[in-house]
Structure 1
Amino acid sequence: MLDYLVHLPRSAKHHILLAIDVFLVPVSLLIALALMFDTVSPSALLWSALPLFIVIPIVAVPVFLRIGLNRIKLMAFELHDMRRGAIAALSIVGLTFATTFILGLDIPHAVALLTGPIFLLLHLGIRTLGRNLLVRRSNGGVGRLPVAIYGAGTAGVQLLAALRQDLQMRPITFVDDNVTLQTMTVSGMSVCSRAHLEAMVKRGDIKRVLLAMPSVSEPKMRRITQELSELGCEVHALPTYSELVEGTGLASNLRPVTPDRLLGRDKVDLETPEVARAYAGRRILITGAGGSIGSELCRQIILCGPQRLTLLDHSEYALYTISRELKQLADANGVELVTRLGSVCDRERMSHIMRESEIDIVLFAAAYKHVPLVEENEIEGLRNNLFGTLTTAEAAQQAGVERFILVSTDKAVRPTNIMGASKRLAELAIQDLQTRSKGTKFAMVRFGNVLGSSGSVIPLFQSQIAAGGPITLTHEKITRYFMTISEAARLVLLAGAYATGGDVFVLDMGAPVNISDLARRMVELTGLSVKDDEHPHGDIEIQTVGLRPGEKLYEELLIGDNMLPTPHEKIMRAEERGLSEIEMARILKQVRTAIAANDAQMLRLIVETCVDGYHVAETGLDDVV
């Protein structure tokens, strides 16, 4: 019942609150009259007061609307909001006196005096009860991240009020270094010491700490951030007061001291109703479910309310880890969770899973993606990335799957390495399959570099900083497009909602980020300094070691410039030329032959001939501009 009321339109909630307050008027009047029963005949008193039960509630409606009594949000109901209730109570007293005088009713004056305070007590009691129920419902939300707010001052209290309406985080406790505040309760939440916080983090009761100290100096903030990070939890910080003036609110202005803070732009808001509608009640298969992107897809898909979510991965440990994480969330959302071990290259296994789980939508995130590893293992890289994609896509088409979304990469655009070439061939194979597909819609999503994903530059730099340096940079001018894991997963889900067949979707990620600047920001965010010629006494040195085999200076997102809009202004749909069925069949046959012969040289020759724009990247620093 409470969930139903919470999801009602705002106008409906206003009408309900108004009705409750109007109902409290005759109830208050009745209680006031009952208090007079010892001195006056009850029946005579009630008969005399009967006009009040009719007139006062009717007259109270415009008064309450004028005061705005029904426009106070329950979750934001605080002490200063009680003034409206007090004004309404005084209005009831005045209306009762006036009605009694005008109609000449034989009623003691004490009835009017008592009606106001009684109404105020009932009004505040109902509002407080409603707020407590909402807070309890909010704090008990499954899947919300438990957080501690560091700083029990004004900013911390305001942040708490914002988080109580947030669907992602659940505030557990305040933390403050002020001994006088410790063991106290602020805004209904306890304040603990840093030692107690450390114990809570170790028990897993706290996953993230939010620094609510916008007036603290930057050096002190860095020191506190570094000390808290050593506890083993995420640390996010509020911006300064000057930055808050330009923002939209405390909760939305939380700036994480994590990979997201290195993005160099605002995160793209990809929360749209199309996602929930596209996946609600559906049967979905996610391949590579234990990987960085696959696991985030799983977390977001479950919140859309699918009927069944099937997780596929060839790694037993990765599949076990993500299934264990998702079980409680799946149960809470009524989602049937199915785990399947297997390889996307196994045709019979993929066909069986499609039929067994009656799949409606396939999100294909399985791939070998690490450029140097695939460069050294080109045969397995092409076998998995090309034929794994094609095998699963053909199985999906034969099973009558509605939509198949391939996760691709910006490295597929004019690739300089086998990993990028394998993904480009996978894109071409999917586009070719779409030309012969009558039911299944195939689409592709092209990513930039995903911050914090396994094998990305962020974890590498973090480990090098933790070891005291140096940070190894392949080239001072190297740039990359970056996106967060949540943006990447949401882009895949939106592609599934927008797909019409053969689409290539990309996210507007702003300007590419210089990796050298990224490394410097990471050092500074840890409270350390960069060691260079100008700062010989710095903490962390950045060394340039040269481009790795197959590595490009600059990445691209598009092969052509034919762009079409989508319902989301930050997502673009590209129209790119594919290959004919005969050309694609020839390429696939040649690649199969090279793989069967285990001939890496032949395979590279085929890639150079067949993949448009493929070229070998220069590795010498002197040759790169």
Structure 2
Amino acid sequence: MFANQYGIRTFIAFTHDFLAVAVSWWLAYLCRFNFEIPALSVIFLLQTMPWIVLIQGSFFLWLGLYRGLWRYASLPDLKRIVVAVVAGSVAVTLILWLCGMLVNVPGAVILLAPLLLLLIMGGSRLMYRAWKERRLYSLENYEAKLVLILGAGSTAVNLVKALTGSREWHVVGMLDDDPRKIGTHLQGVRVHGTINELPQWVLKLNVGHVIIAIPSVSRRIHRQALEMCSEIGVKAMTVPSYTDLISGKTTVSQIREIQLDDLLGRAPVILDDDGLHGLLTEKVILVTGAGGSIGSELCRQLTAFCPERIVFVELSEFLLYTIQEEFMARFPTMKMSFVIGDIKDHARMTQLFMQYNPAVVFHAAAYKHVPLMEQENACQAILNNVLGTYVLAQVAIDFAVEKFVLISTDKAVNPVSVMGASKRLAEMVCQALQQSISKNVDSDQSRHTCFVMVRFGNVLGSTGSVIPKFREQIAKGGPITITHPEMTRYFMSIPEAAQLVLQAGLMGGTQGGGEIFVLDMGDPVKIVDLANDLIHLSGLGEGDIRIVFTGLRLGEKIHEELLAASESTLPTPHQKLRIAQACEIDDLWLSELTTWLDEVTVLSDQEVRNQLIKWVPEYTNKAME
């Protein structure tokens, strides 16, 4: 019954401790009498031993010595053993005294027996744990991956702790550039050398994986480690970002592969949460292009601010279905509406605004692919990006929407493509509408629409970006095709872009509305370097995949810009946002543009380009050069 109640392991542990009590008292007598115990003492010891074991053992049970496993014996377990042994020894001494038998027990035995019992019980547990872990590694973890950790700070130490006893990973060393740490042991793992010595230590220790355990590390270190690992044929991995670690979203043991976001080395975005709650909480938010890369991420970010409802507007049935499946599964209690609609359809947009009465609109719907819009589809780019924006904006004004946030692009700056020019025209439409509102607004009108434009560059992994294309080309064995060896682009992650759009939407209106916010895109990235990074991330070397230069396509720039020559910027309270000071739009310009848009039915690509020269002064028609 005892074995059934406590389990075989508990029964064995309890039996061991009972025997340890007997052995400790026997050894105490042997030590006291120099291994020649008098006959009378032997008789007394044998007579009292069952009672001593019973009293001491009852304290073991009472103080919970058998709730844990010996394999995980630790300092708290040792403390419980000390308390149990001391309490039991005091009780034994007290009972012997009350029974008048204490005079028969030498004082040295009273002192030695508890000490010997502590050594036996504590030592056996620690020895068992050491043996079990060594055996576990040698048998079960024989196939564990040998790993070298870059970094020897607190994150690296926590990672070593988390991986102790892991069946998947076995840490064989650390590397750190701090000379004071080299040669030391942290959590039993040696710091062998500096990060630059990575190749030699990988070969010497025969590791197959390297983990970068420095969450705040610069992209230079990530790229350096990635290149070295690629050259010697080992896999580079990293721990979650510092922001995710301190937010509690993830733990240091959740190792992952290095991603392009890590190589960008961009600092985390700090949002004005209180302000955004005031703008978005318990409000109806409408997002156009909600199935696209930016639109869908905006909707994900919006859920954190508990809006009354999110209205997903999307022209593509498949994209709308996909985003509906995701959000219904992830946010089952949130009020959401998934509607198909064309932003150029005034009647449909009016119906949606009448039904849901949104307070904030994020306008992400647009045709964005430069080469596609340059040939065969130039007229559709104008109709969708310009006329669609105008129709949506007018409906927003009619229903007194608080904020209308237009997602623009760096390609709208000194545009050389139809797509870029169409987005600049969309910006100008919103500017002109804001100017008209400012001049005609009734002083008694408590609510009128504030237009905000947000201009930024490429986002990693967005629909139509080079990243999916490069990955597909790498999967096929190459070559990677790039139009020009000196081509650069600004990049940021999709979540970062969405967060800054929200922040810009909050800050818009401080100067009367119509502001164009320019996101801090950091330094431009060479597309060749991006391709090489993807090659390394795939575990290949630059010699494994060829890069072929095909020449610039129509409408492409070698370098993108975030400001036109006639624009300057003003700082904002947010370090990653600035306001572009764009030229004012003439009052008659908008009416003339809308008249032209109403007359547009089908124009050839060249006719569209010719017209754009008139409407967008900064536009350069490269096709005519």
| Equivalent position of 1:425 in the other structure | 425
Q: Does structure 1 conserve the Cα–Cα contact (< 8 Å) formed by 2:148 and 2:210?
A: no
Q: CA deviation at 1:584?
A: 2.2
Q: Tell me, which stretches of 5 or more residues in structure 2 are unaligned? A: 1-71, 84-143, 172-208, 215-221, 442-447
Shift of the 211–297 alpha-carbon distance from structure 1 to 2, 3 Å rule, reads farther
Shift of the 157–302 alpha-carbon distance from structure 1 to 2, 3 Å rule, reads farther
Instruction: Check if 1:352 corresponds to 2:364.
Output: no
Q: Does structure 2 conserve the Cα–Cα contact (< 8 Å) formed by 1:255 and 1:261?
A: no
Q: CA deviation at 1:605?
A: 0.9
Instruction: Check if 1:389 corresponds to 2:395.
Output: no
Q: Does structure 2 conserve the Cα–Cα contact (< 8 Å) formed by 1:267 and 1:487?
A: no
Q: Does structure 2 conserve the Cα–Cα contact (< 8 Å) formed by 1:152 and 1:174?
A: no
Whole-Å Cα distance in 1 between the matches of residues 276 and 76 of structure 2?
40
Shift of the 521–160 alpha-carbon distance from structure 1 to 2, 3 Å rule, reads closer
Q: Structure 1 residue aligned with 2:528, among 510, 513, 516?
A: 516
Within a 5 Å distance, the mapping from 1:17-166 to structure 2 comes to none
Whole-Å Cα distance in 2 between the matches of residues 614 and 573 of structure 1?
21
Shift of the 358–159 alpha-carbon distance from structure 1 to 2, 3 Å rule, reads farther
Of 566-575 and 541-550, deviating more is 566-575
Q: Which amino acid aligns with 1:551?
A: E
Count the aligned residue pairs. 419
Shift of the 345–252 alpha-carbon distance from structure 1 to 2, 3 Å rule, reads farther
| Equivalent position of 1:409 in the other structure | 409
Shift of the 330–268 alpha-carbon distance from structure 1 to 2, 3 Å rule, reads same
Within a 5 Å distance, the mapping from 1:169-318 to structure 2 comes to 176-177=168-169, 214=213, 237-238=238-239, 257-263=258-264, 265-273=265-273, 274-318=275-319
Whole-Å Cα distance in 2 between the matches of residues 225 and 505 of structure 1?
44
Q: Structure 1 residue aligned with 2:500, among 491, 495, 507?
A: 491
Whole-Å Cα distance in 2 between the matches of residues 252 and 344 of structure 1?
46
Q: CA deviation at 1:395?
A: 0.6
Instruction: Check if 1:579 corresponds to 2:549.
Output: no
Q: Which amino acid aligns with 1:520?
A: N
Instruction: Check if 1:564 corresponds to 2:570.
Output: yes
Shift of the 520–590 alpha-carbon distance from structure 1 to 2, 3 Å rule, reads same
Whole-Å Cα distance in 2 between the matches of residues 619 and 468 of structure 1?
37
Query: Deviations for 1:1-25, whole angstroms, at most 9, x for unmatched residues?
Result: xxxxxxxxxxxxxxxxxxxxxxxxx
Query: Deviations for 1:18-73, whole angstroms, at most 9, x for unmatched residues?
Result: xxxxxxxxxxxxxxxxxxxxxxxxxxxxxxxxxxxxxxxxxxxxxxxxxxxxxxxx
Q: Which amino acid aligns with 1:272?
A: D
Instruction: Check if 1:601 corresponds to 2:613.
Output: no
| Equivalent position of 1:364 in the other structure | 363
Q: Which amino acid aligns with 1:382?
A: I
Query: Deviations for 1:417-470, whole angstroms, at most 9, x for unmatched residues?
Result: 100011011000011111222400001000101111011011111111111111
Of 154-163 and 601-610, deviating more is 154-163
Secondary structure at the aligned position of 1:549 is classed as coil
Q: Structure 2 residue aligned with 1:540, among 539, 542, 545?
A: 545
Q: CA deviation at 1:253?
A: 12
Instruction: Check if 1:325 corresponds to 2:347.
Output: no
Secondary structure at the aligned position of 1:310 is classed as strand
| Equivalent position of 1:342 in the other structure | 341
Q: CA deviation at 1:375?
A: 0.8
Q: Which amino acid aligns with 2:537?
A: L
Q: Which amino acid aligns with 1:493?
A: L
Shift of the 335–152 alpha-carbon distance from structure 1 to 2, 3 Å rule, reads farther
Shift of the 466–497 alpha-carbon distance from structure 1 to 2, 3 Å rule, reads same
Shift of the 236–561 alpha-carbon distance from structure 1 to 2, 3 Å rule, reads farther
Shift of the 604–303 alpha-carbon distance from structure 1 to 2, 3 Å rule, reads same
Q: Does structure 1 conserve the Cα–Cα contact (< 8 Å) formed by 2:294 and 2:498?
A: yes
Q: Does structure 1 conserve the Cα–Cα contact (< 8 Å) formed by 2:285 and 2:311?
A: yes
Secondary structure at the aligned position of 2:343 is classed as coil
Of 452-461 and 554-563, deviating more is 554-563
Q: Structure 2 residue aligned with 1:529, among 536, 541, 559?
A: 541
Q: Which of the two has higher C-alpha Rg? A: 2
Whole-Å Cα distance in 2 between the matches of residues 421 and 553 of structure 1?
17
Q: Tell me, which stretches of 5 or more residues in structure 1 are unaligned? A: 1-77, 90-148, 164-170, 180-209, 228-234, 531-537, 621-625
Whole-Å Cα distance in 2 between the matches of residues 493 and 576 of structure 1?
21
| Equivalent position of 2:21 in the other structure | none
Instruction: Check if 1:466 corresponds to 2:475.
Output: yes
Whole-Å Cα distance in 1 between the matches of residues 358 and 552 of structure 2?
43
Q: Does structure 2 conserve the Cα–Cα contact (< 8 Å) formed by 1:447 and 1:506?
A: yes
Q: Does structure 1 conserve the Cα–Cα contact (< 8 Å) formed by 2:226 and 2:537?
A: no
Q: Structure 2 residue aligned with 1:588, among 594, 617, 624?
A: 594
* Identical counterparts, % of pairs: 39
Q: CA deviation at 1:390?
A: 0.8
| Equivalent position of 1:447 in the other structure | 456
Q: CA deviation at 1:527?
A: 2.1
Whole-Å Cα distance in 2 between the matches of residues 525 and 615 of structure 1?
38
Secondary structure at the aligned position of 2:331 is classed as helix
Q: Does structure 1 conserve the Cα–Cα contact (< 8 Å) formed by 2:147 and 2:210?
A: no
Shift of the 221–276 alpha-carbon distance from structure 1 to 2, 3 Å rule, reads farther
Whole-Å Cα distance in 1 between the matches of residues 253 and 268 of structure 2?
13
Of 433-442 and 212-221, deviating more is 212-221
Query: Deviations for 1:219-259, whole angstroms, at most 9, x for unmatched residues?
Result: 896699998xxxxxxx952399xxx9xxxx98599885223
Whole-Å Cα distance in 2 between the matches of residues 296 and 508 of structure 1?
19
Secondary structure at the aligned position of 2:579 is classed as strand
Whole-Å Cα distance in 2 between the matches of residues 345 and 449 of structure 1?
25
Q: Structure 2 residue aligned with 1:617, among 610, 614, 622?
A: 622
Whole-Å Cα distance in 2 between the matches of residues 294 and 466 of structure 1?
28
Q: CA deviation at 1:581?
A: 2.3
Q: Which amino acid aligns with 2:618?
A: G
Shift of the 218–496 alpha-carbon distance from structure 1 to 2, 3 Å rule, reads closer
Q: Which amino acid aligns with 1:476?
A: P
Query: Deviations for 1:265-318, whole angstroms, at most 9, x for unmatched residues?
Result: 323423332333321111100000000001100111011111111001011111
Whole-Å Cα distance in 2 between the matches of residues 302 and 443 of structure 1?
21
**TM-score, normalised with respect to structure 2:** 0.60
Shift of the 479–81 alpha-carbon distance from structure 1 to 2, 3 Å rule, reads farther
Query: Deviations for 1:71-126, whole angstroms, at most 9, x for unmatched residues?
Result: xxxxxxx999989x99xx9xxxxxxxxxxxxxxxxxxxxxxxxxxxxxxxxxxxxx
Shift of the 239–288 alpha-carbon distance from structure 1 to 2, 3 Å rule, reads closer
Whole-Å Cα distance in 2 between the matches of residues 374 and 226 of structure 1?
42
Whole-Å Cα distance in 1 between the matches of residues 240 and 300 of structure 2?
28
Query: Deviations for 1:127-158, whole angstroms, at most 9, x for unmatched residues?
Result: xxxxxxxxxxxxxxxxxxxxxx9999999998
Whole-Å Cα distance in 2 between the matches of residues 417 and 252 of structure 1?
47
Q: CA deviation at 1:524?
A: 2.0
Secondary structure at the aligned position of 2:422 is classed as helix
Whole-Å Cα distance in 2 between the matches of residues 81 and 434 of structure 1?
69
**TM-score, normalised with respect to structure 1:** 0.60
Whole-Å Cα distance in 2 between the matches of residues 326 and 214 of structure 1?
33
| Equivalent position of 1:92 in the other structure | none
Shift of the 347–79 alpha-carbon distance from structure 1 to 2, 3 Å rule, reads farther
Query: Deviations for 1:166-190, whole angstroms, at most 9, x for unmatched residues?
Result: xxxxx9x9661569xxxxxxxxxxx
